Amino acid sequence: MRTGLVVSIIGHVVVLCWGLIAFPSAKPYSVEPVDALPVDLVPIEEITKTRIGDKTASKDNAPAPAPAEKPTEATEKAPDPGKKPAKAAKPSPAKAEPAPQAEPEAEKEPAPAPQVEPAPAEEPAPEKAEAKEETPEPPKPVKVVPQSKPTPPKHTRTTAAQPIKNRQEPKKKDTFDPNEISNLLSKVEPEGGTQTAVNEPAGLGANKATQQQGLSASDLDLLVSEVKERWNYVPDTFPPDLVVRVQFQLSRDGHLIGTPQIMNSHPYPRFRQLAEAAIRAIIAVDRSEGFSFLPRDCYEGNGGWNTVLANLKPQ
Amino acid sequence: MISEAFAQIEFAAPAGDISFFALFLGAHIVVKIVMLGLIFASVWCWAIIVDKQLLYTRTKRQMNRFENVFWSGQSLEDLYQTLVSRANTSMAALFVAAMREWKRSQEGKKPAIASLQQRIDRVMDVTIMREMERLENRLLVLATVGSAAPFVGLFGTVWGIMISFQAIAASKNTNLTVVAPGIAEALFATALGLVAAIPAVIAYNKYSADAARLGARMEGFADEFSAILSRQIDERTQG
């Protein structure tokens, strides 16, 4: 028995020593490094919210920065905050040319509209709408623009309509100030986005701002890119401030209601053709896929896409 | 103590490798006890295995040699004289026991021959039993280890996994690199249980069969020798 025990102990010790040396050689699995995908979590309302916040802040000291920003404006999000302040700050020069009569009304309206009940808002709207219907689209753009914007409210809800009006004012100003126009180029803005700008002059902006819900940046980009894909025009060296502003209304299932309308004009000789091409592009989108890719729950409300105002810039 | 243990782990398993030593040191105390018990069982089993292997080989060799001598025609008396002075095992022990009984019965003034045959048979039965007991001694340990060691190892594993799950819950991290070492340590107990049990089971089956074969061989010899003695007895009583 003793030999057996000795042999056994020796054997075990040998095995353990072997395990000590040989066992650790477990090779790690070869794991190929995976490239990290950058993921940004962006709340849908991000853009409108940032605009709101910036507007109120920059209102005081805005004018100076505005011109400087133009060149960088290619990207939408970052520049936004800067632009608006600029618009808000320079209302007076812009107004002078386009439609002196219309503007004072427009400015007054926005203030009551957002906060007050829908009823008061509607009243001004129909009037303007009528006016617009009567007027032919392109030839008289200057006067029409300010008043015509209210028209959408008929079809859409009053809340949606008002933002549109509000919007136009700043843009009107833009159209006349080439520098500022370039900031807005090739953007589609739901009404909600600019609405706050109007509110600010009235001093009411902050309250409305929190309620706004708009399309996300990606949705806006998608919409613009869909339209631009089908926008056929003869290439040319376009003036830098050339922009075609189209307003159109959408049904809840993402289809066009009525005909898109051109909301601005430009001395550029072939502006008319460009604008009509843009309208055709929008109709083409409607016929192919429609706009149903826009999120359903953003359809109504201040930032909803029941009425879309798109700034298209030819490239 | 803790720092020492860590130092040893570092020494045994640089760069976080898993060695036997690191696995053992990292385990919970209960698992450690289980592991130590299983290692001891394994050592003991192998000691028995080696011992039995030597014993059976030797026994078989002795039987062969004795049978050669026994059937060589040599005088049983001479053979008995040669063997009686040694410590005998297996067949030689049988032969010596039977011859001793025979001799004793012949000695004295009144030879007790009437039931000599029965006495010789009984003596040889007793000797066979004793020899078998010697051959099969400790084989039951192998059987026990073979059947119980896996369960003991499993117990260690279950315990270790319980502990490591508690540790995972406490650390609130389910990353596999955090989870893996604890489970590896726990599984090491089952591995040891199997390492102890598998040879034990195999050896038990082999050696119990060997013992039975040796026993049968001894019984065959006993019957043959009993027949020879019976013939002698009958001749003497008639003569």
Nearest CA in chain B to A10: B43
| Residue A56 burial (CB count, 10 A) | 18
Question: In the structure encoding, which two tokens stand for residue A10, read together?
Answer: 């020796």
What confidence tens digit (pLDDT) does each residue in A130-150 have?
A: 444 444 444 444 444 444 444
Instruction: Provide ipTM, 2 decimals.
Output: 0.75
What was the pLDDT predicted at A273? 85
Q: How far apart are CA B49 and CA B55, in angstroms?
A: 10
Read off the tokens for A8: 């056994």
Whether B84 shows a pLDDT value over 90: the answer reads: no
Query: Residue A310 pairs with which residues in a beta bridge?
Result: A188, A246
Q: What are the residues facing A311 on neighbouring strands?
A: A245
Inter-chain residue contact B19 with A23, CB threshold 8 Å: yes
Work out the burial of residue A227: count CB atoms within 10 Å of its CB; fewer than 13 is exposed, 13-18 middle, 19 or more buried. Answer: buried
Nearest to B43 among A12, A19, A24 (CB): A12
Decide: residue B13, CB within 10 A, 0-12 exposed, 13-18 middle, 19+ buried: buried
* Residue A188: band (very low, low, confident or very high) from pLDDT cuts 50, 70, 90: low
Q: What 3-state class would DSSP assign to A303? A: strand
Tell me: pLDDT of A101 over 70: no
The predicted pLDDT at position A184 comes to 61
What CA–CA distance (Å, rounded) separates A297 from A294? Answer: 9
- Asked if the Cβ–Cβ distance from A20 to B47 is below 8 Å, we say no
CA distance B17 to chain A (A): 5
pLDDT computed for residue B21 by the predictor: 76
Residue range A41-54: mean pLDDT, rounded = 55
Least CB–CB distance from B50: residue in A3, A20, A26: A3
Distance CA A242, CA A249 (A): 23
β-sheet bridge partners, residue A245: A311
In sequence order, what E strands does chain A have? 188-190, 244-250, 256-262, 307-312
Q: Using a CB-CB distance cutoff of 8 angstroms, which residues of chain B are in contact with residue A4?
A: 46-52, 54
- Give the confidence band of B107 by pLDDT, cuts at 50, 70, 90: confident
Residue type at A149 in one-letter notation: K
Q: What is the pLDDT of residues A262-315, one digit of tens each?
A: 888 888 888 888 888 888 888 888 888 778 778 777 777 666 777 888 888 887
Chain B CB contacts of A14 below 8 Å:
none
Using beta carbons and an 8 Å cutoff, which residues of A are at the interface with B? 1, 3-5, 7-9, 11-12, 16, 19-20, 23-26
Mean residue pLDDT across chain B: 85
B109 C-beta neighbours (distance < 10 Å), count:
4
Whether B215 shows a pLDDT value over 70: the answer reads yes
- Give residue B10's identity as a one-letter amino acid code: E
- Under 8 Å between Cβ of B66 and B91: yes
Q: What 3-state class would DSSP assign to B77?
A: helix
CA distance B202 to chain A (A): 16
User: In Å, how far is A19's CA from the nearest CA of chain B?
Assistant: 6
Mutation pick from A9, A12, A29 vs chain B, by most beta carbons of B within 10 Å, is: A12
Cβ contacts of B216-223, under 8 Å, gap ≥ 24:
B217/B63, B217/B91, B218/B63, B218/B90, B218/B91, B218/B94, B218/B128, B218/B131, B218/B132, B219/B128, B221/B67, B221/B91, B221/B94, B222/B94, B222/B98, B222/B121, B222/B124, B222/B125, B222/B128
**pLDDT reading at A209 higher than 60:** no
Helix (H, G, I), strand (E, B) or coil at A273: helix
Whether residue B228 contacts residue B75, with contact meaning beta carbons closer than 8 Å, is answered with no
Q: Does B54 touch chain A (CB under 8 A)?
A: yes
Compute the mean pLDDT over every residue in chain A, rounded to the nearest whole number: 62
Is the pLDDT score of B183 beyond 70?
A: yes
SS3 B1: coil
Q: How far is B47 from chain A (nearest CA, A)?
A: 4
Q: Which residue has the higher pLDDT, A159 or B62?
A: B62
- In degrees and rounded to multiples of 5, residue A250 shows phi and psi of -125, 145
- Residues of chain A neighbouring B50 (CB-CB closer than 8 A): 3-4, 7-8
B52 versus A102: the higher-pLDDT residue is B52
Over residues B52-78, mean pLDDT: 91
Surface of B (88-127) touching A: CB under 8 A? none
All residues at 6 or more sequence positions from A107 whose CB lies less than 8 Å from its CB, including other chains: A91, A169, A198, A201, A202
pLDDT above 70: residue B167: yes
Give pLDDT, residue B205. Answer: 95
The larger pLDDT score, comparing residue A68 to residue B91, is at B91
Which DSSP symbol is given to A306? Answer: S
